[in-house]
Amino acid sequence: MGESRNQFQFRSAIRSETGPLRKENQDSTLEADLGVSGHVLAVADGVGGHADGKRASAETLRLLESGLRANRALWPNRSGRAEEVRDLDVLIRQINRIVCGLGERSRDKKRMASTLTCAWLKNGYMLIGQVGDSRLYRFRDSQLIRLTVDQTEAGELFARGDISEEEERKFPKRNVIKQAIGGTDPEKFEPVITCENFQSGDRYLICSDGLTEGLKDKDIAAIMDPERESDLKKVVDTLVEYSLRNSGKDNTTAVVFEIQQG
């Protein structure tokens, strides 16, 4: 359970599994108290086809936390959200450059790459950073919505309403991502930073694509519903176990948190 020194509280639960077909879990998770600067939760997923995905995802989250902590004396004094959005954008771009450099300096000089979906919680709102196809969902008033857009052709078509979720799931090469930490040249790198107001009782899910491979949005909504289950540990267990049962092709990670206003 996480608690912030800001004027809100939340509780959380995390579970990450390798799955029956993978030899290594290349998903990484982060939950960190930043003191007066709030709290951060994140998922990073090492990208298949690139060298050392586990290192890429772990380094991505290590750099995210250290970057937020290094600037926490500055950010509480920011006069507006636009400045914080810009600062998070700059930080994620710096992380991409560093991880690109790590790949270039590796023995085989192969790029290592990772997705990143992060939620930086402040007083009454959160900043969301998105790279790749991990996702952030919100469950509020019995409705589940995606707060991020997968940086894939299929994800962008779905977000525009051009294809259904069923068509998205069957889309050719739907897991080929257009952006990745460490896998995209810094000159072409475009993270997406958005801002979300939260309310007491809101539930959020950050997950890797391994989880959504095995669960449709309607399945996630049913499991996330607080009227069905109040224990967040049971919620993440159900999400991960059902997904592994239905698919199990990839590492599967769920970070669930619920806002409780102070």
Q: pLDDT tens digits for 203-247?
A: 999 999 999 999 999 999 999 999 999 999 999 999 999 999 998
Query: CA-CA distances (angstroms) from residue 33 to 56, 141, 142, 161, 188?
Result: 22, 28, 29, 37, 32
Of 21-25, 185-189, 226-230, the poorest mean pLDDT is in: 21-25
Question: Sorting pLDDT into bands at 50, 70 and 90, what band is 35?
Answer: confident
The mean pLDDT value of the chain amounts to 90
With CA atoms as reference, report the closest residue to 121 among 10, 238, 45.
10
Number of other CB atoms surrounding residue 206 within 10 Å: 27
What is the reported pTM?
Answer: 0.93
Say what percent of the chain tops pLDDT 70: 89
User: Which pLDDT score is estimated for 173?
Assistant: 87
**Residue 2: predicted pLDDT:** 47
Q: Would the pLDDT of 40 be above 60?
A: yes
| Interval 248-262 mean pLDDT | 89
Task: Give backbone dihedrals phi and psi of 110, rounded to 5 degrees, phi first.
Answer: -90, 140
Is the pLDDT confidence value at 1 over 50? no
Specify whether the CB–CB gap between 131 and 125 falls below 8 A.
no
pLDDT tens per residue across span 117-151: 999 998 889 999 999 999 999 999 999 999 999 99
Examine the pLDDT at 184 and tell me if it is beyond 70: yes
- Residue-level pLDDT at 3: 43
**CB–CB of 49/92 below 8 Å?**
no
* Residue 4 in this model has a pLDDT that exceeds 50: no
- Residue 105's pLDDT band, with cuts at 50, 70 and 90, is low
DSSP secondary structure letter of residue 162? S
Contacts of 184 (CB under 8 A, 6+ apart): 96, 100, 113, 178
The Cα 199–Cα 137 span in angstroms is 14
Least confident of 18-32, 154-168, 207-221: 18-32
Structure tokens at 15: 């579970």
125-131 and 116-121 strand pairing: antiparallel
The per-residue pLDDT for 260 is 86
pLDDT of residue 50 exceeding 70, the answer is no
**DSSP assigned state of 214:** H
